[in-house]
Copies of this chain bind each other. A is one copy, B any other.
Amino acid sequence: MAREAMQKLTQWEDVRYFLAVVRQGSFSGAARALATDQSTVSRRIALLEHALGQPLFERGPRTVRRTPQAEALLDAAQAVERAVLAMEDAASRAEAEPRGRVRIALTEGLAQHVVVPRILPGLFAAHPELAIDLRTGDEVLDLARHEADVSVRFFRPARGELVGQRVARLPLAVLVAKRARKRWAGRSIGELPWTSYVKDDLETPESRMLARLGVGRTRLACSSVETQLAAVRAGLGVAVAPRALTLALPDLAALDLPEAPDLGTLELFVVTRAALRKVPRVAVVYDALVEALRALDPSRAEV
């Protein structure tokens, strides 16, 4: 070891570790984010501190606090990261064939019911050297930070270096298991066995909708949409969800409410980084997503 203290970054790699610790707030967290071990983070940060000749973090058993020196370096470190990410994009731009890996960030439902069965088969067949990472989950991955290449989500993306489009407007409906349909037909809104999706008590389009209908806290609340739908298919209750879901799940049907309120629509967006839009491997994925997801939009389908 024994790098001398001379204010020289002899290991550019360490900048990545520094940023991870700052963002995660702990060595352990940084290790998880970097897919490495906590001990490695600890040692590399120690080395970096020695190389720069100044302490960067105050280690506490419960927490890691940045020193003022670390604070002063943050901007510069982020500039390094931006430059590296820009270089990655520049590298992508040079490729000619759709090959390599594309990471798609999307919801579990879109992945299972649309992307996997309807899009991937054709994509893999058409481009043998293309590989796909499906990153499902509720956390919003940061396209700008290269956590994913393409994102399919139900909200308009933050702008910046991102480009994208709305591919479908999906009317919401009250979904119910077909075999339980007649049991609740004709009931009023207040009498229906509502289920809801609740994650960290955050507001969702669906929760806003329920509130608008006058439905309060539901008897069954799920922290994942999939579990919620499983409950509906088991006949436990009804859920507000895109009507288009009945295409993918034939044992579900829309329930016509007597009051017939407008349940609103979800807007589906496909987004990527501007620098990647023309990159072959991304372009084929992006285009396939847009084409297939447009078909979900009933207003478009009817035309």
Chain A interface (Cβ < 8 Å from any Cβ of B): 4-9, 11-13, 15-16, 52-54, 68-69, 72-73, 75-77, 79-80, 82-84, 86-95, 99-101, 131, 146
Q: How far is the CB of A170 from chain B (nearest CB, A)?
A: 32
Q: How far is the CB of A36 from chain B (nearest CB, A)?
A: 11
Query: Within 8 Å CB of A91, what residues of B?
Result: 7, 9, 52-54, 69, 73, 76
Q: How far is the CB of A216 from chain B (nearest CB, A)?
A: 47
Other-chain residue from B52, B54, B88, B95 in contact with A54 (beta carbon distance below 8 A): B95
Knowing A80-B87, A87-B9, A88-B9, say if A94 contacts B16 (CB, 8 Å): no
How many angstroms from the CA of A83 to the CA of B12 in the assembled complex? Answer: 10
Query: Within 8 Å CB of A89, what residues of B?
Result: 76
Query: B92 near A86 (CB under 8 angstroms)?
Result: no
How many angstroms from the CA of A101 to the CA of B5 in the assembled complex? Answer: 8
Query: Within 8 Å CB of A53, what residues of B?
Result: 91, 95, 99-100
Among A4, A12, A68, A77, max chain B CB count under 10 A is at: A12
Query: Within 8 Å CB of A69, what residues of B?
Result: 91, 94
How many angstroms from the CA of A132 to the CA of B80 in the assembled complex? Answer: 28
How many angstroms from the CA of A86 to the CA of B15 in the assembled complex? Answer: 13
How many angstroms from the CA of A159 to the CA of B146 in the assembled complex? Answer: 37
